[in-house]
A and B are shown apart, each in its own frame.
Chain A
Amino acid sequence: MKSEFQMIEWPRKALFDHIPLDVIVIDRDFTIVEANKQAQKNYPDWRNKHCYELFYGRKKRCVECAAVKTFEDGKTRTENSEIKGEDGITRYYKIHVSAYRDKDGNIPYVMEMANDITDRVNIEREYRLLFDNVPCYISVIDKDFKVVDSNDLFKQTFSRKGTQYCYQMYKEREKVCTQCPAVKSFKTGERNTSIQVGVDKSGKKTHYVVTAAPLVANGESVDRVIEMSLDISEVIQLQEKLEQAEREKIEVERFAAVGQTVAGLAHGIKNILMGLEGGMYVVNSGISRNDNDLVTSGWKMLQNNITKISTVVKEYLQFARGTEIQVEMANPAAIAKEVFDLYRDLAEQAGISLTLEVPDRVEDASLDPQGIHTCLANLISNAIDACEFSDKTRKKVSLSCREDNGTIVYEVKDNGTGMDYEVKQKIFSNFFTTKASGQGTGLGLLVTRRVVFEHGGEVSFDSVLRRGTVFKIELPRDRLPKIKSADPKDSKGDHNA
């Protein structure tokens, strides 16, 4: 028995007609008995059609049908539906089904409201496509750090069986990482970025920059964070290779310096041996000539050369000892001050004014303070000697330390004798001294150069005969040796950001 479906009250009728959804009413036969304005507009020939016929072009009712169930139990339900239009484009609907009861409690009609969600579905699809295909690892985590969603790349790289927390996946850890940017994001509701080292499924070390961003709008407490990570392993590898190449270059330079020093040493020792043999010859001659003065002269010659060889050997041992320089954080200006204090009295006694120029502040640097001390002492000692040989009335030596574009620069300047062309050519090239016999070994500048090379730096000089000399040590900070830490072991996954 069919009762007539009627829209009685006006407000309801108006709502029915103007709601921006397709609304139809079907009877138990699935015939459409009423349609609102929008449905009539979208489906002009709706009248007396079965719903499955009108919407899906079917001859029989759908297998899965929410209306069937609602006719049975009267409950309101929702179902999703896809409808392929005549233009071939699929549209997506969310359909609400509710029962119409008559006075006796029977359900002769059911109302279906179809909400067109095609745009939303398409946007979601695009978003998912982006999510899965963006060349980043993306995971969404909850407050327990459980991964509640992740993209394909993340799954392919980090998802292991039985893992559900981000720290398990990214780093094979059993608890939250110490330098976790997501922890901060949960706390502050702000975005945080850091560099991390993780381990992928295959056990390979992976470097990545991770950005953690809260997934809720401003003001609300954060219960989801999205982690987006960019793999920078290749960049890190390149950087490591570059650093390695730089280290090797410094090593080669160091060996070259050592080689030159050894050649120089051989030459120096040859000279001393000649002195010893000569001394013996002179002593023998003095004895056979019965010439006491000649014996004395020869003996002095022997003594000189014995003193010389002892000095050379001691200096060389000191020089050879430091194959490993002792690097620590030290203040470059403080070292200059120490050397200055050490030589001030000596210079004063020799009638030389020794001055020190250091800026108020120079940052600490990783270097071998003892080695740099030796270098500066050598240069100052040379400068004082150069002044002593000069016949100027105002003798000056100055030591300065400054920072110049990331390079630590020491300068030792004197107004002493200066050097002529030949001396300039020889000071670094070999065992060479212009000092009186027995006073100089010719090792000072070699030691200086070696130490400076070991610091990745350079020694240069500028000298004008009778005007004076400037020696310059330049130590670029980015080439300075690294401090060897006591325990370089890096606990797995924990990496300073």
Chain B
Amino acid sequence: MLEKINKTVLVVDDEPDVRLYLKTVLENAGFDVSIAGNGKEALDRMTEKKPDVISLDLVMPKMSGLKFYKYIQKNKDRAGIPVVVVTAHARDEFGKGDLDKIMAAKSEGGTMVVVEKPIEPVNYVNAIRRVLGMDEIVSEETSEKDVLRVKLREKMKTADRKTLEDALKILEKGPSDQGPDG
């Protein structure tokens, strides 16, 4: 689990399973999470505590994601909250219309990102981070390599010619018998 980020995400989804999953993913990524099962509940949660970002399911019975979004756009204070639209129906007749409408309803200067189901934890977290203006994280495997790369870059700045030549030879020989990733 990464360090604690002092940001709250409101997850709105009618499916309890999806709510639990998204909540767990976000908590693992260090966010505070509040959850709502429909548009009305979401409005209650927002009154209790204003979220920094809303994760919004498009297709829900009773109050759809589109209706909820249009509703909060009427309030200046809430209209500015970045939104991540989560949908399994980006391309079918089921959700395509709503997706187009919500994109059209996006206020000027508003921030919105669409994430398609099935949800990959890293993609989802990055979408949340992106709308918050944060750097994107990378998956564990890439991140380990990236850490090494950064360290190498730092060393190269101060290394002498001989060390650099040796390092280059090692790199040109290709992967060692025992892979660097173990």
Task: Enumerate chain A interface residues (CB-CB to B < 8 A).
Answer: 267, 270-271, 273-275, 277-279, 281-282, 285-286, 288-289, 294, 297-298, 301, 304-305, 420, 422-423, 426, 429-430, 432, 434, 437
In the complex, which of the residues B17, B25, B118, B119 contacts A305, with contact meaning CB atoms closer than 8 Å? Answer: B17
Known: A270-B88, A430-B94. A278 touches B61 (CB 8 A): no
**Pair B88/A298 contact, Cβ less than 8 Å:** no
- In Å, the complex CA distance between A51 and B59 comes to 115
**Max chain A Cβ within 10 angstroms of own Cβ: one of B17, B117, B119:** B17
**Pair A301/B20 contact, Cβ less than 8 Å:** yes
Asked whether B71 is an interface residue with its Cβ less than 8 Å from the other chain, the reply is: no
In the complex, which of the residues A271, A279, A281, A429 contacts B121, with contact meaning CB atoms closer than 8 Å? Answer: A281
**Pair B21/A281 contact, Cβ less than 8 Å:** yes
- Besides A267-B88, A282-B21, 4 more A-B contacts (Cβ < 8 Å) are A267-B92, A282-B20, A301-B17, A430-B94
**Pair B118/A277 contact, Cβ less than 8 Å:** yes
Known: A271-B88, A277-B118. A437 touches B28 (CB 8 A): no
Chain B residues contacting A423 (CB-CB under 8 Å) are 61
User: For residue A305, which residue of chain B has the nearest CB?
Assistant: B17
| 9 tightest A-B CB contacts, nearest first | A278-B21, A434-B61, A274-B118, A282-B24, A275-B17, A285-B24, A301-B17, A430-B94, A285-B28
Chain A residues contacting B21 (CB-CB under 8 Å) are 275, 278-279, 281-282, 301
- In Å, the complex CA distance between A282 and B28 comes to 10
- Mark B2-23 against chain A: 1 for CB-CB distance below 8 A, else 0: 0000000000000111101100
The number of residue pairs between A and B whose CB atoms lie closer than 8 Å in the complex comes to: 61
**Pair B94/A281 contact, Cβ less than 8 Å:** no
**Max chain A Cβ within 10 angstroms of own Cβ: one of B24, B93, B94, B119:** B24
Asked whether B134 is an interface residue with its Cβ less than 8 Å from the other chain, the reply is: no
**Pair A430/B64 contact, Cβ less than 8 Å:** no
Task: Enumerate chain B interface residues (CB-CB to A < 8 A).
Answer: 1, 15-18, 20-21, 24-25, 27-28, 59, 61-62, 64, 88, 92-94, 117-119, 121
**Pair A426/B94 contact, Cβ less than 8 Å:** yes
**Pair A278/B17 contact, Cβ less than 8 Å:** yes
In the complex, which of the residues A274, A288, A426 contacts B119, with contact meaning CB atoms closer than 8 Å? Answer: A274
Question: Can you list 14 pairs linking A and B with CB atoms under 8 Å apart?
Answer: A273-B118, A274-B119, A275-B17, A279-B17, A281-B21, A281-B24, A282-B20, A282-B24, A288-B1, A298-B24, A301-B17, A420-B62, A423-B61, A434-B61
Known: A270-B118, A274-B118, A423-B61. A298 touches B20 (CB 8 A): yes
User: For residue A285, which residue of chain B has the nearest CB?
Assistant: B24
- In Å, the complex CA distance between A115 and B178 comes to 133
Known: A274-B118, A277-B118, A422-B64. A437 touches B94 (CB 8 A): no
- In Å, the complex CA distance between A336 and B54 comes to 49
- In Å, the complex CA distance between A289 and B92 comes to 38
Q: How far is the CB of B35 from the nearest CB of chain A, in Å?
A: 12
